[in-house]
Amino acid sequence: MTITQLQYVLAVAEYQNFTVAAEKSFVTQPTLSMQVQKLEDELDVRIFDRSKKPISITDAGKKIVAQAKNIVNEAKRIKDIVDQEKGFIGGEFTLGIIPTVMPTLLPMFLKTFINKYPKVNLVIREQNTDSLIRNLQDGHLDAGIAATPLDIEFITERPLYYEPFVGYVPPSHRLRKEEKLSPEDLDIHDILLLEDGHCFREGVVNLCKASQNFEDHFHLQSGSFETLVNLANEGLGMTLLPYLNAVDLDERKKSNLKYFEEPPPAREISLIYHKKELKLHITNALREVIASVVRGAIRFQDVKIISPVSKNGT
């Protein structure tokens, strides 16, 4: 049994087709077919059922594929271990970012990072917190950026910055006359929120919960802050924006912003990664780059951190 054979098996399992799998593995079809056969002979079990097309995986095959994935992944990590030992900052690095952070944070640090560490092949994925955690666990992500604290056993959280919430209050809104917002003033029923799954929503819900007894139903949920702002302008209520999104608004819309009293409620944005610390060198490099660019953009000493995790265990 060789690692190559396992990789071939994984390719066939993925593409459900020997010819395609061979192409993707950069070998000819007979090469791949023979190696898969050899492994099947050695284990004395069929992994794939080729009697019909498209081919299917046998029961034993499913378990073998699962284990093969495991082995091939662990084998790949040998290279990471060596890189880390050498202090080499390079190779592939996959970073997941939650949707409400992505558009504002990514442009701030991306250029700086790829210039400073040109040998890192940075792969960015936009994912909500739940899939982010799952992908960190099974090794599909090397690190993630999410609202914290999450308090998950196998994850290390390294705070990057604290981002206050800012109110977007259109002229027609009852809170328009207030100089500063206070969490007690908020009414969850006239705040426009992002759709479920975005952890920013959980944060806002928690913020309102802190001052009100709150039942779980909303006027409306949308997928982007831009939509929320436009809906607010239509008189459908107010909305809350993270600070970095708020400063990105055009001048006309900025006039509708209302800040909170000190200390403003804020979300904690952290770099999170598996406690196994597999690519710690790159992770640390990333953290320093982000921290340095954010330091110029956000400067708040005293904030009140709002948890992104819903209390009733979503």
- Compute CA distances 48 → 4, 69, 117, 159, 161, whole Å: 17, 16, 43, 47, 50
Q: Which tokens in the block code for residue 105?
A: 């944070």
Contact partner, 35, from DNA, a copy of itself, none, Cβ < 5-8 Å per class: DNA
Interface characters, 24-43, with a copy of itself (x: CB under 8 A): -------------------x
* Choice from 11, 13, 18, 146 touching DNA (CB under 7 A): 18
171 binds, among DNA, a copy of itself, none (CB under 5 to 8 A by kind): none
Closest Cα partner for 271 from 145, 148, 156, 155?
Answer: 145
* CA torsion, ordered 205, 209, 213, 217, to nearest 10 deg: 0
Build a one-symbol-per-residue string for 62-101: x at contacts with a copy of itself by CB under 8 A, - elsewhere: -xx--xx-xx--xx-xxx-xx--xx---------------
- Name every residue whose Cβ is closer than 8 Å to that of residue 144 and which is 6 or more positions away in sequence: 95, 96, 97, 98, 127, 132, 133, 135, 136, 271, 272, 273
To the nearest 10°, report the CA torsion of 85, 89, 93, 98: 110
Number of residues lying near DNA (CB under 7 A): 24
| Near DNA by CB under 7 A: residue from 3, 44, 47, 54 | 54
Q: Is 35 in the site for DNA (CB under 7 A)?
A: yes
CB of 150 to DNA, least distance (A): 42
Q: How far is the CB of 196 from a copy of itself (least distance, A)?
A: 30
Looking at beta carbons only, is 42 or 262 nearer to a copy of itself? 42
Residues 6+ apart with CB under 8 A from 297: 108, 244, 247
Q: Does 26 contact DNA by CB under 7 A?
A: yes
Q: Compute the distance between CA of residue 182 and CA of residue 281 in angstroms, rounded to an integer.
A: 42
The yes or no reply on residue 60 touching a copy of itself (CB under 8 A) is: yes
| Interface region with DNA, contact rule CB under 7 A, candidates 18-26, 104-112, 174-182, 186-194 | 18-26
Which range binds DNA by CB under 7 A, 34-42, 93-101, 105-113, 187-195?
34-42
